[in-house]
Amino acid sequence: MVEPVSLNSYRDDRLWAVVASIGRTSRVAEVFTSRLAALADQAWREQQVKAYAAFLGNTRQPTPSYSVKPIKRSDLPRAWRPLPALGFLNGKLM
| pLDDT on residue 69 | 96
Burial class (CB in 10 A: 0-12, 13-18, 19+), 17: buried
> What is the amino acid identity at position 78?
R
Q: What would the pLDDT profile of 9-60 be if each residue is shown by its tens digit?
A: 555 678 999 999 988 888 899 999 999 999 999 999 999 888 887 777 777 7
Cα-based distances in Å from 21 to 68, 78, 84 = 11, 20, 14
Cβ 52 vs Cβ 75: under 8 Å: no
Q: Find how far residue 49's CA is from the centre of its chain.
A: 14
Q: What does pTM read for this prediction? A: 0.76
